[in-house]
Amino acid sequence: MKKVTGIGGVFFKCDHPKEMNEWYTKNLGLPTTAYGATFEWREHDHPAKKGSTAWCTFPKDTKYFNPSSKPFMINYRVENIVLLAEELKKENVTIVDEITDDDYGKFLHILDPEGNIIELWEPKEELDQEG
């Protein structure tokens, strides 16, 4: 079974998210909004399938990364989150929450051995409407 298929996003805490977004826009050209930046791309082997990678700043006191105390979180794209969750449980991986399903796809949070929060994301399939 294919597990991680790519990076879905990079998220980090900072003292001043708005100013950080502005700095990255001005100095590195990131197309930021209040929510960060989204980089859209197409799958190499299936060009009709679209994907995206997020880059987001969070306030230093965000609870979104809990229970991790680390200042960052990486989101990994996965192919079958339900099956992967079953495998992770068998390996005694710390699972923080239950699988949720929203407009963007399915999500699950786990911890690695050093307490880094990891967000697993099975995106809803995006096909090119013209393709």
> Hey, what domains does the chain have and what are their CATH numbers?
10-41 (no CATH), 63-71+79-126 (3.10.180.10)
Distance of alpha carbon 9 from alpha carbon 22, whole angstroms: 19
Question: Would you tell me how many other CB atoms lie within 10 Å of the CB of residue 59?
Answer: 13
Q: Give the per-residue pLDDT at 131.
A: 45
Task: Write down the pLDDT at residue 128.
Answer: 52
DSSP conformational letter for 124: P
Please name every residue paired with 40 in a beta bridge, in sequence order, or none if there are none. 52
Q: pLDDT band at 65, cuts 50/70/90?
A: very high
pLDDT one-digit tens code per residue, 13-41: 999 999 999 999 999 999 999 889 999 99
The confidence band for 126, taking pLDDT boundaries of 50, 70 and 90, is low
pTM for the structure as a whole = 0.87
